[in-house]
Amino acid sequence: MTGWIVLGVLVLIIALVVIYTIVIYNGFIAMKNSIERDWSNIDVMLKQRYDELPKLIKVCEGYMQHEQQTLEAVIKARSAVSNAGSGNQKLAAQNALSETLKSLFMVVERYPDLKADKGFRQLSNRITELEDQIADRRELVNSAVTIYNTRLEQFPDVIIARLFNFTSRQLWKIDAAHRQDVEVNFSRS
Amino acid sequence: MSVDAYLIVDQRSSPPPEMPALLKELASRYELDGYSCRQLLLGQTEALLTKGPEPRLKKIKQTLVNYDFCCHLITPSPLKFAPFILTRVEFNANELKFFGREKSLIVPKDSKLLIFLAELSGSLVERTLSQILSSHRYTGNSENSGLPLKKWQRIILQGRPVLDIYLLDEKGKPAGAVRAFPGKFDHQSLGERATLSTNQNLLKLIELTQEYAGHHRVDMRFGISALPGANLQTAKADDLGALKKNLRSLTHYAWLQADIDRQREQPTPDSESETIASAATALLTAMQPELATNLPLQKEIISELTSGVDAATATPETETSGTNRSQLPTPPDLQHHSTWNSPRTIIGISIFVGIALLVKFGNSTSWLGPMIAKSFSSGAMSGLLAAFFFIGGFRRLQLKRLIQNTPTSKIRSIAMGRVEVHGNARRQYALFSPMTNIACIYYRLVRYKRNSKKDWVVSSITSSGHIPFWIEDETGRVSIDPSAATVKAGHRQESMAEGSTAFGGFSSPDEKWVEEMIYDGALVYVLGEAQVKRTDRAPRLQRRAEALRRIKQDSQKLSGYDTNKDGRIDESEWQTARDDVDEQLLHEDLSQSDQQKRQEDQVVIGKPRHRGTPFVIAETASEAKLTDRYTLATAFFFAAAGLASGLSLWLLLQS
């Protein structure tokens, strides 16, 4: 009789362990795919921003005859995005594009007529909106990656992770240059 | 930065005959939601009707005065201090002195005082008021006589009472305040008044204070008045955070009362003449969701209170904007669920049928009897039960992990597909819970009747589970379609509602109802699938083709593109037309985007398309609290499964 009891308990425990393993394994797969999806969703926003840029430049060109350098920088940064190969290159190109856009919007301050242009206002609002959404989605990716990496190190998930070779993912990191203090000079040259 | 003024109304116990006209005027002239206004105007305490710029509120006030409503337009004073904790008192013929650890307050004879006796746990107030609420319907119950002061005092003392005493200066502004907890001050310092009961000592302290007051008012309405920032939330005994929130709400309530008293044209009623509300409308805010911010500890509260006021007033602001934004449409028809297919009913029926079969055929000599008896004695039935519990446990475990593994999105940027959002729920329709008449975004009402054996049997289930609502965070708001969602409501009320025929025919002690609801403004967690809302707007490609077709059909327009005037549109000329159409569509889209910038117009979170994917809506302050609930449920199911498995094994071995 004792043998049967031991056998029954063992079967029960094994069943529990197997099901729990399945739950954890499926969880890892879902998280992994979710991170991929979140990255792709950023690409969707980046693509939308990319598509809006020629229209913005077109509107700006009419007003900013003397700012060809700034506009060319935006066009160049946009081309760099489409030519970028690896993930890191793409990231760098996207960051560069964001920077040139910021410069463009700063320069626009000097052109009240352009600022008052309805088309420009709509486009700049749209691009700002996209920038905000991109930032939110990057935060989301980081949250998803953090949860995933935490799970990888937690018990009992760590066992399943090692058994099935789940490896940790990289958080989205900002360029080192963006971490530096901004130099502010109040003295007039 | 200008501070919004508050328009506070003295509620009326019964609706005046011209109420419909007033509501219509409030809706048409000031865009105030008629349903919410009606609730706020009826009762016996004060309620914040709306807030905003003073000129606008003055107009609304004038309208209300025309309809014989007494209202007060106040600019809330910033909280400058919180009461210190009383440790002992001293008194002589001329003054009464309150001492704390580091502070003291001297109350000279004939001072102006405001005294607040309040209950901090919130549960007693909620329970007592639920009885009153049962007989107070949306139509307004003028027959409710309310609770006498003494009874209300007794209710407060049964819970976690606290006494706040505010000394007012000549202008009626708080000049000092002290807070007394029962048993926490030296009762011997009360002199001959001291008793052995901590609660009685609190009442004696009130008596003593009243002796030194020239003009005073005792207020016990904290928790039932509908004033901003003065919400009383239900707090468990060990939930210090919630108790501290209630303490801060009490402080805020006291400051508001001082503001209101200053604005009153007539002297405030004496404490003896007061009765406590027939408070269905007042409970609206008494049980509103907790503030999102954490409260500082009592000792540090003073330094942080001023900044905290903004947080405290933030909730009512959004509440007001949520309910009074405009006239909310009437909700669609209700959903009546058949009672037989709810999971609980199915499990109940299965168990009942099993036991009935066992009783009936257990000793029978036919083939059925031994088979049923065998299924029980061999452990097969308990084995099935164990399997059921195991599956239930794993499903909950899986859901818990899914909730933990899904990051929370900001509403502004939610992507299509599975999303998790957390924020305040807001009504899209003028939805009220049917029994308690509280503005809510979801309710489920189950009615029971006694059968011939005096057991309760479900007679009907009604829910608002198909009525969409908003969820909003700091970045925006999005529509939620709760159809087919697993809804975890945070509040549940149960009543026999004896004799209240106004409730649609409940007049018998053999009937009862259970109402679950999520209040308007509650913090809600949603895990579902974001989808693009179906709109009447055609896809861009289709609109582009349509526009090009129109150009083709319009010879005048077409000739405009014939730049070389050869009578034909060549490829490059047609490309120009295409570019023009694209630009025109872009401008249309952009202006559309300006109008429909918010997610609310484009996205809806609803039931996932794939079967088996969860769709959860839960009223919860945080995701962690929700997962804790699932952890408990999982543990329960696994424990039950373990027991059932053990029983099954034992029976198997016995047989």
pLDDT averaged over every residue in chain B:
76
Q: Which two tokens stand for residue A161?
A: 């992770």
Which pLDDT tens digit goes with each residue over A32-49?
998 888 888 888 888 887
Confidence of residue A65 (pLDDT cuts 50, 70, 90): low
Place of tokens 């939110």: A136
Cβ contact (<8 Å) for A30 and B402? Answer: yes
Q: Which pairing describes strands B104-108 and B95-99: parallel, antiparallel, or unpaired?
A: antiparallel
Q: Give mean pLDDT, residues A120-149.
A: 83
Highest mean pLDDT among B124-133, B139-148, B285-294, B612-621: B612-621
Question: CB contact, 8 Å: A53 with chain B?
Answer: no
Lookup: tokens for B210: 């009243």
Model pLDDT for residues A95-114, shown as the tens digit of each residue: 788 778 877 777 777 777 77
The whole-number pLDDT of residue B318 equals: 35
* Burial (CB count within 10 angstroms: exposed 0-12, middle 13-18, buried 19+), residue B538: exposed
Chain A nearest-CA residue for B589: A122
Q: Which residue has the higher pLDDT, B176 or B147?
A: B176
Kindly report whether the peptide bond that precedes residue B17 is cis, defined as omega within 30 degrees of 0: no
CA distance B412 to chain A (A): 7
CATH number for the domain formed by residue range(s) A2-168: 1.20.1440.20
Is A172 or B343 the better-scoring residue by pLDDT?
Answer: A172
* 8-state DSSP, A156: T
Lowest mean pLDDT segment, chosen from B113-117, B289-293, B364-368, B515-519: B289-293
Looking at chain B, the whole-number percentage of residues with pLDDT higher than 70 is 75
Choose the closest CB to B415 out of A1, A23, A41: A41
pLDDT computed for residue A176 by the predictor: 58
User: In residues, how long is chain B?
Assistant: 655
pLDDT at residue B165 tops 90: yes
Percent of chain B with pLDDT over 90: 8
pLDDT tens figures, B367-419 = 666 777 777 777 788 888 888 888 889 889 889 989 988 999 888 888 888 88
Assess whether pLDDT exceeds 50 at residue B311: no
pLDDT over threshold 50, residue B268: no
Helix (H, G, I), strand (E, B) or coil at B511: strand
If contacts are CB pairs under 8 Å, which of residues 134-153 in chain A contact chain B? 136-137, 139-140, 143-144, 147-148, 151
Give the Å distances, CA to CA, from B294 to B145, B249, B317, B534, B603.
38, 12, 18, 39, 31
CB within 8 Å: A34 and B587: no
Among A129, A136, A147, the residue with its CB nearest the CB of B405 is: A147
Bridge partners (DSSP) of residue B90 are B97
**pLDDT tens, residue by residue, A142-169:** 888 888 988 888 888 888 888 888 888 8
Contacts 24+ apart (CB under 8 A), B332-335: B332/B429, B332/B466, B332/B467, B334/B462, B334/B463, B334/B464, B335/B462, B335/B463, B335/B464, B335/B465, B335/B466
Nearest to A119 among B409, B475, B587 (CB): B587
Is the model's pLDDT at B585 over the cut of 60? Answer: yes
> For the purposes of burial, counting CB atoms within 10 Å of the CB of A114, is it exposed (0-12), middle (13-18) or buried (19 or more)?
buried
Asked if residue A23 lies in contact with residue B398, where contact means CB atoms within 8 angstroms, the answer is yes
Task: Check A122 against B417: CB less than 8 A apart.
Answer: no
Which amino acid is present at B366? Answer: S
- DSSP code at position B101: S
Nearest to B491 by CA among B454, B560, B439, B455: B439
* Range of lowest pLDDT (B96-105, B149-158, B214-223): B149-158
CA dihedral A105, A109, A113, A117 (to 10 degrees): 30
> What average pLDDT is seen over chain A?
78
Q: If you average pLDDT over each of A79-83, B328-332, B520-524, which comes out highest?
A: B520-524
Tens digits of residue pLDDT in B509-544: 777 888 898 988 888 999 998 888 766 556 677 788
Report ipTM (2 d.p.). Answer: 0.75
Residue B546 scores a pLDDT above 60: yes
The arithmetic mean of pLDDT across residues A61-79, rounded, is: 74
Dump pLDDT digits (tens) for B620-649: 888 888 889 999 999 999 899 889 888 888
- pLDDT attached to residue B501: 37
H or E element at residue B355: helix B343-361
